[in-house]
């Protein structure tokens, strides 16, 4: 258990460090937060139009609408502008709790990865690396890429996540391959 705790803790540091670099220094995710010079006007319109925090698909049918109404809107929307908006009524400049929660999630994920990888005994270094990268690809394909498929996001909005899948979990796999196999 001590080996798992230390291995997952160091692995979580590697995962967290790459995530930090990816989003800040390397700026791999710039496509996910584009700038517009009319942002104040858009925010003013949103804040007067939206009454609660949430994620909005524009346009969409009201809750309780029939499937036929949804299909009709879908046909009308074809070739027309549309948007997905995540709206929050108040910004909170608090990075401490999100970072703590993010690290704890990373630690849990690496610990779970160790659990999965070691079910048949200690895996070889290459199997540890391959299994770790596979986990990264699973999370990329089930998350950012699936969102891209359904919401037609631009390629630049998921490219950073694809790089993260390989690098983050590749680093964790290299570390765990060495750590779990050392005598």
Which tens digits make up the pLDDT trace of 111-170?
999 999 999 888 999 999 999 999 999 999 998 888 888 877 777 778 899 999 999 999
Domain membership of residue 125 (yes or no) is yes
Over the stretch 65-124, which tens digit does the pLDDT of each residue have? 999 999 999 999 999 998 888 899 999 888 999 999 999 999 999 999 999 999 988 899
Domain membership of residue 73 (yes or no) is no
Domain membership of residue 40 (yes or no) is no
Domain membership of residue 30 (yes or no) is yes
Domain membership of residue 62 (yes or no) is no
Give the number of domains in the chain. Answer: 1
Which three-class secondary structure state does DSSP give residue 41?
helix
Which residue bears the tokens 């858009």? Answer: 42
Which residues form the domain of 156? 2-34+94-181
Instruction: Tell which residue, 170, 45, 177, has the closest CA to residue 117.
Output: 177
Domain membership of residue 16 (yes or no) is yes
26 exposure class (CB count in 10 Å sphere: 0-12, 13-18, 19+): middle
133 exposure class (CB count in 10 Å sphere: 0-12, 13-18, 19+): buried
Domain membership of residue 49 (yes or no) is no
């Amino acid at each position: 258990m001590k080996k798992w705790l230390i291995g997952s803790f160091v692995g979580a540091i590697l995962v967290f460090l790459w995530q930090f670099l990816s989003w800040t220094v390397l700026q791999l995710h710039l496509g996910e937060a584009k700038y517009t010079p009319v942002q104040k006007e858009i925010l003013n319109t949103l804040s007067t139009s939206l009454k609660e925090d949430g994620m909005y698909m524009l346009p969409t049918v009201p809750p309780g609408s029939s499937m036929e109404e949804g299909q009709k809107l879908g046909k009308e929307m074809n070739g027309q502008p549309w948007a997905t908006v995540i709206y929050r009524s108040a910004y909170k400049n608090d990075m401490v709790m999100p970072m703590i929660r993010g690290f704890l999630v990373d630690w849990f994920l690496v610990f779970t990865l160790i659990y999965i990888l070691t079910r048949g005994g200690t895996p070889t270094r290459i199997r540890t690396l391959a299994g770790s990268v596979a986990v990264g690809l699973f999370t990329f394909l089930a998350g950012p890429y699936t969102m891209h498929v359904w919401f037609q996001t631009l390629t630049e909005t998921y490219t950073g996540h694809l790089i993260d899948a390989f690098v983050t979990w590749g680093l964790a796999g290299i570390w765990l391959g060495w750590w779990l196999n050392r005598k």
